[in-house]
Amino acid sequence: MIRSDGARAAGRFTRLLACAALAACSTIDDARIARLDDAQAQSLLAPGRTTEADVRAALGEGRVVHFRSGWETWHYEYRAGLAKGWDDVPFIGLVTSRSARPTKELVLLFDAGGTLRRYALQQVPPTR
């Protein structure tokens, strides 16, 4: 069977789209905090000493919320299982949003000088 250039291009595009979708599935939110426990957090995050640069090197930059005062919070969230974005896909979200998955959250508070002031690490149990 002879395929036209258009059919070949469509086939390549379909394969490329499938690879991109699979790559998106393999990334699970902020997996950098998946194994972070209280002891590790205490050694990594020292209020008054740890800087934004230290955290960026260890965990990357989280979702940042800036305040007028110059202070900011960095938010990290990890949910076991599928990537969070799947909950927003029509029909798929009906299934994935109902699955019980534990969530781990890390919130960091930095002052205007970029020094860590407080942090909270919590494990939220799965809900049904």
- pLDDT digit string, tens, across residues 32-82: 788 889 999 999 999 999 999 999 999 998 899 999 999 999 999 887 766
Residue 94: the pLDDT is: 60
Q: What is the rounded CA–CA span in Å between residue 81 and residue 98?
A: 12
Rounded to the nearest 10 degrees, how much is the dihedral formed by the CA atoms of 112, 40, 64, 89?
Answer: -170
- Give the pLDDT band (50/70/90) at residue 84: low
DSSP H/E element including 121 = strand 116-124
Instruction: Tell whether the torsion through CA atoms of 93, 96, 99 and 102 is positive or negative.
Output: negative
- Give the pLDDT band (50/70/90) at residue 83: low
Residue of 102 and 63 predicted with greater confidence: 63
Q: What is the rounded CA–CA span in Å between residue 37 and residue 106?
A: 10
DSSP H/E element including 14 = helix 5-26
Mean pLDDT over each residue of the chain, to the nearest integer:
77
What's the Cα-to-Cα distance from 24 to each of 13, 15, 54, rounded to whole Å?
Answer: 16, 14, 27
Q: How far apart are the first and last CA of the chain?
A: 52
- Report pLDDT digits (tens) over 6-42: 666 556 555 544 444 433 433 335 677 888 899 999 9
Those residues with Cβ within 8 angstroms of residue 61's Cβ, 6 or more apart along the chain or in another chain: 55, 74
Q: What is the rounded CA–CA span in Å between residue 5 and residue 62?
A: 44
Residue 32: the pLDDT is: 79
Residue 124: the pLDDT is: 79
